[in-house]
Amino acid sequence: MYWRRSKISDMKQYGLIGGEIANSLSPQIHNLIYRRFGIAAQYQLLPTTALLDRVAELRAAGVAGFNVTMPYKRAIIPLLDDLTPRARLIDSVNTVVLRNGKYVGDNSDSQGFGEALAHNRIALANKIVLINGAGGAASAVIDHLIDVGAKMILIYNRTRAHTNQLMIRVKQTYRWQNVMSVFDYHGLVVDAIVNATPLGGSGHSDSAALDLNVITTSLYIDLIYRPLVTETMQIGQARGIKTLGGLDMLVYQALQANALWHDISYDATDAKEIIDHVKALL
């Protein structure tokens, strides 16, 4: 067990459940947030291959909340007591809040993505956007795109069945028809591309997410934050494509998670100073 109830410390305990998360920056980010807002809390990594056991452990320890990352953003749902309307709509959970003794799943990725775009003065309303990926992160991006009024969403994934499943779910859940699967992105002309897969990140650094030499776009967004500049981003920059990495979204979704846990209010200045601190660590 990672934590035991203590009569000495009043610090609330939080953490990140995931698979291969040894290189995660989440503890550093959350601890910066705690110091900035005067929150008495501790945050740590909770790598696991046994999700059911890990959640049972956190319940027994009375952990006040936790984040969830790959590959458990959807697998966690049956193990929770309830979902917020937002998490139910996205069908993905990355933040769990302890409310009245029950674990309630929420999702701060969609808002975090949108706030990261606004932070960088990027707007995707009326844009054609290609999403690489069909997991929980892709679902959160789609939620934001529908909310702001994207013109068209194209979904590409190496597993065709997953691509079609996400497309069908989006049409049914959102009652929104401007979404389609693509199985070959060569020759596509889009306004923006979002990589919502781990390709190009730590542990996958030898794999480019997509070949930007065969797509026409003016914007490439990578949800990966380590490395800060992925191989695909480098290729895009060499071609004159505007790029954005995933660190800003990571910080904003962490701020949003703490707003859910601690009812804090934050602004772009808070986010920028935390982003700058984290960049200095890399």
The per-residue pLDDT for range 52-63, each reduced to its tens digit, is: 999 999 999 889
**Is the confidence at residue 205, as pLDDT, over 90?**
no
Q: Are 29 and 254 in contact (CB under 8 A)?
A: yes
What CATH number matches the domain at 111-245, 3.90.1330.10, 3.40.50.300, 3.40.50.150, 3.40.50.720? 3.40.50.720
Instruction: Break the chain into its structural domains and give their ranges.
Output: 12-107+248-281, 111-245
**pTM listed for this prediction:** 0.92
Share of the chain above pLDDT 90, in %: 84
Alpha helices in the chain, H assignment, sequence order: 26-37, 51-61, 85-90, 109-119, 136-148, 160-174, 231-238, 247-262, 268-281
For 143-154, how does the pLDDT look when each residue is reduced to its tens digit (9 = 90+)? 999 999 999 999
Average pLDDT over residues 70-95: 95
Q: Are strands 128-132 and 192-195 parallel, antiparallel or unpaired?
A: parallel
Same CATH fold, 111-245 and 12-107+248-281?
yes
Please, what is the average pLDDT of the chain?
92
Distances (CA, A) of 280 to 28, 228, 273, 274, 277: 11, 11, 11, 10, 5
Length of the chain: 282
Task: Give the model's confidence band at 10: pLDDT under 50 very low, under 70 low, under 90 confident, else very high.
Answer: low
Task: Give the model's confidence band at 17: pLDDT under 50 very low, under 70 low, under 90 confident, else very high.
Answer: very high
Average pLDDT over residues 157-165: 91
pLDDT of res. 281:
84
Average pLDDT over residues 151-166: 94
Annotated catalytic sites, by residue? 73
pLDDT of res. 1:
39
The CATH number of domain 12-107+248-281 is 3.40.50.10860: yes
